[in-house]
Homo-oligomer: A and B are copies of this chain.
């Protein structure tokens, strides 16, 4: 009988792996490098090898393993087929079928942000909820959407790409995706830093930010210390994110919105600047949505990946 499951979260530089029991208890976790050279052809074989070694190290049998869940940084559809992952050098292919062939184990795959949302729903900040929007505020803005307990992957795996919701018609700079005025240009760690520098350059108001590196952390630290300039920057972050979340809620009507990623380490202040704009713009049927912080940090991906197999 299956007693264990592997959860794998593929990032641009490292692959995180976790061994769980089927109740979701994390037994072991480790990392291997992501070898993106040669169109990332070694990534899945490396993962397979690492899992085989772990099975042997722990004296497990393959029959003990329910399967391997995988989160990957790209659009993955309901069939575990990835529609390109530029970061990894990957084109279009079935992650599920490829890794099943190598390992002989059942494989389930999803987009990393969607999978992280599933992890938070299973064991993290959204535990007990079934309709979840998770926003990961990191280098970009990632989104993971859970509808009635299931990941919303979309037709070609591009569901939950909320960082690319268009929020500003007057933007001159381009987003990484090629459009102009995407949410992540304002509310990601990078976007907050960018807006911070703009606000600082546009005024002479004294601020501790003038004497240190300007980034999402120092900006929210200054907000918490009562700095007026930092608060202006946080308003920009909150206005765009709150507005976009209001649009998202008109579409999916979630029970809870979860903020995660590096920026959210600043604490509930990241919610305080979002909620007023959310409540102002959202349809009344979604006005009482809860806001919480993610709690699993970098482990959300391996938890969610494991859960994918157990569904």
Q: Which chain A residues have a beta carbon within 8 Å of chain B's beta carbons?
A: 75, 78, 83, 130-131, 143, 145, 147-148, 152-162, 164-166, 177-179, 181, 243-244, 246-248, 250-255, 280-286, 289
Is A158 within 8 A of B285, CB to CB? yes
Interface majority SS (helix, strand, loop, mixed), chain A = loop
A246 / chain B contacts, CB cutoff of 8 Å: 165-166
Q: 27 A-B residue contacts at CB 8 Å?
A: A78-B148, A83-B285, A130-B155, A131-B154, A152-B152, A152-B251, A152-B252, A154-B252, A154-B253, A154-B285, A155-B289, A156-B255, A156-B285, A158-B283, A158-B285, A159-B251, A161-B286, A166-B243, A166-B246, A166-B282, A177-B283, A178-B284, A179-B281, A181-B281, A247-B247, A251-B252, A252-B252
A248 / chain B contacts, CB cutoff of 8 Å: 247, 251
Is A75 within 8 A of B285, CB to CB? yes
Q: How many chain copies does the complex carry?
A: 2
Is B131 within 8 A of A162, CB to CB? no
In the complex, residue of chain B having the shortest beta-carbon distance to the beta carbon of A289: B155
Top 8 nearest A-B pairs (CB, nearest first) are A154-B253, A158-B285, A164-B283, A166-B281, A155-B255, A131-B155, A158-B253, A159-B253
A143 / chain B contacts, CB cutoff of 8 Å: 251
A154 / chain B contacts, CB cutoff of 8 Å: 131, 147, 252-254, 285-286
Query: Could you list 17 further interchain pairs (A-B, Cβ under 8 angstroms) beyond the known A143-B251, A165-B250, A166-B281?
Result: A75-B253, A78-B148, A131-B155, A152-B152, A152-B252, A155-B253, A156-B253, A156-B285, A159-B253, A160-B253, A161-B285, A165-B247, A179-B281, A179-B283, A247-B247, A251-B252, A252-B252
